[in-house]
Structure 1
Amino acid sequence: MAVIGGGVVGCAVLREFVLGGLTAVLLESSPDLLSGASKANSALLHTGFDAVPGSLEARLVADGHARYRAIHQRLNLPLLETGAIVVAWTEAEQNALPEIMAKALANGVADARPLGPAEIRQREPFLAADLLGGVLVPGEAVIDAWSAPLAYALQALANGGAIWRNARVCGGRREHGVWTLTTAAGPARARVVVNCAGNQGDIVEAIVRPSPFEIRPRKGQFVVLDKTAHDLARSILLPVPSEGTKGVVIARTAYGNLLVGPTAEEQQDREMATVEPALLQFLLDRGVRMIPALAREPVTATYAGLRPATQFKDYQIEALPAERWISVAGIRSTGLTGALGIAAHLAALHAEHFGPLSAIADPLWTPVPNLAEARPRLWQQPARDEIICQCEMVTRAEIEAALQGPLPAGDLGGLKRRTRCMMGRCQGFYCTRRVMEIAAPRLPGLVEMLA
């Protein structure tokens, strides 16, 4: 099998099929994984309480949620049990709460329940006083958006999978039941191809057929507040969603910050996600409206990501038996949660159309280093190495380890995602050169930059 696209869904799919006994390769166009849509999101583990009941997304998000909870400890992945509160601020939003409750129950989220203003303020004392009510969803949680897919990829590698980077797929042909994909790293041959190409999904789909879906990148901008703001929100604070967006969320991050965002803006560019001062200010204003104390908190970082939306609201997943191809598209903001559920769904499609899998009897498990602030980290150990990034307390040993092993960082972005270096208050102002000096022997191009 060949899996096209090294985002969170591609990594989960590779893992699923390798553990299912197939010889599988992941083809990623960039020097490192998670370089597209998966590099920038809100890092929340969703229950699917607000998905369209009966939709494929609702089912696969719920399944992915359960599967993450089942394996996260074996892969050493964080799970911050914050819960979420949908907060109503206007009479119209308050009138929509019963519908939100009904949708949650229809989606099997049986522990969701209404909250009155007094109970919300008891849980969230820093919220503005004029809130009118809300819905509590206990199962919503915060995770690390980068460690999870990297752990999936590493487990796939440990059990016999392969990953080709710098391997953009630019064509393919099928002869005698075998695909030969043309990639920048050479030809890749496979009996089955899975298209998980994210924002390039309809372009890749054109290899096999005129794409029935059109990728319409939807940009989401975020503001990251300093660690001093972390305790101003204990739960994930959700707005009452509108027709076009789930709205602006306030949530803790696994790294000890507080996040406000995202926006929802359709654009044509599939790769460049810019941040815009006016919209960032809008996010801050919305955050301050909900938690007035945020007005005194400094901003650590801003970022933007592109979600691979289509003209359809639901996931676009389809097996093409005659072509020996599986399409996976329209995986928007719920992809981080849904990835493991999507992978299991694809395994079922494979069994139906291409033959059953034969699971590895005793797979190897590959725990990843902990990056979450709420759990012990390497810098806290008595014999720890030199600290290179003072803002995020990243040691030299962590940076060196991220540049080695079966899936070393392929660029500085990948190094950030594996260690948290250059992501703190100074945004790399003080540590970038030291990081580059350590990384230069293993990352081409950095030597020239340092000269």
Structure 2
Amino acid sequence: MVGAGVVGAAVFREAVLSGLSAVLIERGPDILEGASKANSAILHTGFDCKPATLEHTLVQQGHARYCSVHQRLGLPLLRVGATLVAWNNDDLASLDTIARTASRNGVPLTRLDRAALVAREPNLGPSALGALVVENESVIDPWSAPLAYVSQAVANGGVLLRSTAVTDARFADGSWTIGTNPSTIRARVVINCAGLQGDLVEAIARPSPFTIRPRKGQFIVYDKSAHGLVSSIILPVPTPVTKGVVITRTAFGNLLLGPTAEPQDDRDNATLTQGELQALIRAGEKILPDLAHHDITAAYAGLRPATEHADYQIEALAARHWITVGGIRSTGLTAALGISAHVMALYEDTFGPLRPLPDPLWPTVPNLTQALPRSASRPGRSPIVCHCEAVTQSDIAAALDDPLVPAGSIGGLRRRTRCMMGRCQGFYCTRRVVELACGRLPGLEAASHDA
């Protein structure tokens, strides 16, 4: 399969556990180098999905499957709930429609008037008029989940190939010969999970039925002092184009504001823009006025693989020995495990029976969340490298030496440990991190001498 974002990671895991000999190809030096590295880290219930769509079905299945496996993989689940807030009379009139959609989707909501809303979230701006409460919306660690999926696949015999770009492909006699920059791979079935490159990869098999038009989302991360300003995820009334600006606690003890929704043509670069960030800050301070008194730790931008279609684009092409998994937008983190089960059902229906592993291995990933103990708090710990995020030297070493999926880039090392992600954004710890990673990650040999 092609593409090691969160969806590709989940499909890789499912394929291996289903008994297939699976290879995951990723053009970047590590997993999550594309769209999946930047999102809001919310595990959605699917309450506002359009009923009877594939997205609705797979979001709800993905939510349920994450809840069923997260403890065995060492993954967090912070059930903070969500408060969908009406800020004007039009929003207030929309709450009944949203509640009816949620009811059809099997998700119960509770209606709050202004007094009840203020009691629940006292720091909201004065224009908040009412709300709906979604109890089962949750916050997770967006990077450890796909790492756990890939790790379990590799532990059970899957092969991960990073820094491996598809250069050409040929289908003959019921199998694919895929040319990559280092080698050639033979495959009976190809699964396209290429995200932002999905339509380009799809063109290998057929004229693509969808076109990726990246949608950029910019986010702002507030200092840990802002974490207590809300007790739940604060959602706006969504529009047909976007779920709107969200304020949520993160699993790492910060407060997150975003995203924006900006179409662009560039598939690889999500740049920060001053005007949009300032508008985002103003929007955040309207929602939570006290944000004006808290420092901003970081800002980042990510791209979502939007298409001209409102729903996911997932299908099996029997004659081409190909499965398409495209157009997975912001709900992909939640839906990933639902998508993976759906893809394997398509595989079995189209290409033959599966033979699930009878007793698979269940490796766990290190905890990165603020709510649970980490190595920095243990007696006899190694020296702390990143004081902002309490990352120890042993944390860095474990990520670099991981026998299953070691860090393949400096970004991958950050996502596995939280180093350089704190208040100083690496000002104090970058030199030591580079020294520890010197010779282990691409491009750091020379950088270590100049750090």
TM-score of the aligned structures, taking structure 1 as reference length = 0.98
2:250 to 253, 266, 276: 253
- Give me the whole-angstrom Cα distance separating, in 1, the residues matched to 2:369 and 2:86: 31
Deviation at 1:356, TM superposition (A): 1.8
Q: Does 1:418 align with 2:398?
A: no
2:165 to 165, 168, 187: 168
Aligned residues with identical type, % of pairs: 59
Q: Which residue in 2 is equivalent to 1:93?
A: 91
Deviation at 1:442, TM superposition (A): 1.1
Deviation at 1:368, TM superposition (A): 0.4
- Partner letter of residue 405 of structure 2? L
- Partner letter of residue 432 of structure 1? T
Q: Does 1:35 align with 2:33?
A: yes
Deviation at 1:47, TM superposition (A): 0.5
Deviation at 1:450, TM superposition (A): 2.0
Please list the CA deviations of residues 127-157 of structure 1 after superposition, one character each: whole Å capped at 9, or x if unmatched.
Answer: 1233111111111000000000000000000
1:220-231 counterparts in 2 under 5 A?
220-231=217-228
Greater alpha carbon shift after TM alignment, 167-176 vs 255-264: 167-176
- Partner letter of residue 375 of structure 1? L
- Give me the whole-angstrom Cα distance separating, in 2, the residues matched to 1:217 and 1:20: 32
Deviation at 1:185, TM superposition (A): 2.5
Q: Which residue in 2 is equivalent to 1:328?
A: 325
- Partner letter of residue 239 of structure 2? S
- Give me the whole-angstrom Cα distance separating, in 1, the residues matched to 2:174 and 2:127: 64
Q: Which residue in 2 is equivalent to 1:306?
A: 303
- Give me the whole-angstrom Cα distance separating, in 1, the residues matched to 2:404 and 2:146: 15
Q: Which residue in 2 is equivalent to 1:19?
A: 17
Q: Which residue in 2 is equivalent to 1:339?
A: 336
- Give me the whole-angstrom Cα distance separating, in 2, the residues matched to 1:385 and 1:336: 33
Deviation at 1:242, TM superposition (A): 1.4
Aligned length: 448
Deviation at 1:191, TM superposition (A): 0.4
Deviation at 1:312, TM superposition (A): 0.5
- Give me the whole-angstrom Cα distance separating, in 1, the residues matched to 2:190 and 2:442: 31
Q: Does 1:60 align with 2:58?
A: yes
2:275 to 278, 290, 305: 278
- Give me the whole-angstrom Cα distance separating, in 1, the residues matched to 2:218 and 2:248: 14
- Secondary structure of the 1:328 match is strand
- Give me the whole-angstrom Cα distance separating, in 1, the residues matched to 2:431 and 2:44: 38
1:50 to 48, 53, 58: 48
Please list the CA deviations of residues 294-331 of structure 1 after superposition, one character each: whole Å capped at 9, or x if unmatched.
Answer: 11011000000000000001000011001010001110
- Give me the whole-angstrom Cα distance separating, in 1, the residues matched to 2:203 and 2:93: 45
1:97-176 counterparts in 2 under 5 A?
97-109=95-107, 111-176=108-173
- Give me the whole-angstrom Cα distance separating, in 2, the residues matched to 1:281 and 1:257: 19
- Structure 2 gaps of 5+ residues are none
Q: Which residue in 2 is equivalent to 1:9?
A: 7
- Secondary structure of the 1:73 match is helix
- Give me the whole-angstrom Cα distance separating, in 1, the residues matched to 2:165 and 2:103: 43
Q: Which residue in 2 is equivalent to 1:83?
A: 81
Contact 1:51 1:57 (8 Å CA) reproduced: yes
- Give me the whole-angstrom Cα distance separating, in 1, the residues matched to 2:216 and 2:185: 32
Deviation at 1:284, TM superposition (A): 1.0
Q: Does 1:177 align with 2:184?
A: no
Q: Which residue in 1 is equivalent to 2:427?
A: 429
- Structure 1 gaps of 5+ residues are none
- Give me the whole-angstrom Cα distance separating, in 1, the residues matched to 2:19 and 2:232: 40
Q: Does 1:215 align with 2:220?
A: no
- Give me the whole-angstrom Cα distance separating, in 1, the residues matched to 2:409 and 2:242: 33
Contact 1:7 1:33 (8 Å CA) reproduced: yes
- Give me the whole-angstrom Cα distance separating, in 2, the residues matched to 1:67 and 1:215: 28
- Secondary structure of the 1:427 match is coil
Contact 1:164 1:185 (8 Å CA) reproduced: no
1:292 to 286, 289, 292: 289
Please list the CA deviations of residues 400-425 of structure 1 after superposition, one character each: whole Å capped at 9, or x if unmatched.
Answer: 01001221111100000000000000
Deviation at 1:170, TM superposition (A): 2.1
- Give me the whole-angstrom Cα distance separating, in 1, the residues matched to 2:182 and 2:390: 36
RMSD: 0.7
- Partner letter of residue 68 of structure 2? A
- Give me the whole-angstrom Cα distance separating, in 2, the residues matched to 1:433 and 1:132: 49
- Give me the whole-angstrom Cα distance separating, in 1, the residues matched to 2:240 and 2:198: 24
Q: Which residue in 1 is equivalent to 2:237?
A: 240
1:268 to 265, 269, 282: 265
- Partner letter of residue 43 of structure 1? A
Large movers: runs of 4+ above 3 Å: none
- Give me the whole-angstrom Cα distance separating, in 2, the residues matched to 1:137 and 1:36: 30
Q: Which residue in 2 is equivalent to 1:372?
A: 369
Q: Which residue in 2 is equivalent to 1:448?
A: 446
- Partner letter of residue 406 of structure 2? P
Deviation at 1:23, TM superposition (A): 0.3
Deviation at 1:445, TM superposition (A): 2.2
- Give me the whole-angstrom Cα distance separating, in 2, the residues matched to 1:124 and 1:402: 38
Q: Which residue in 2 is equivalent to 1:206?
A: 203
- Secondary structure of the 1:403 match is helix
- Secondary structure of the 1:199 match is helix
- Partner letter of residue 356 of structure 1? P
- Give me the whole-angstrom Cα distance separating, in 1, the residues matched to 2:398 and 2:250: 24
- Partner letter of residue 263 of structure 2? E
Please list the CA deviations of residues 87-141 of structure 1 after superposition, one character each: whole Å capped at 9, or x if unmatched.
Answer: 00100000000000011111111x2121111221111111123311111111100
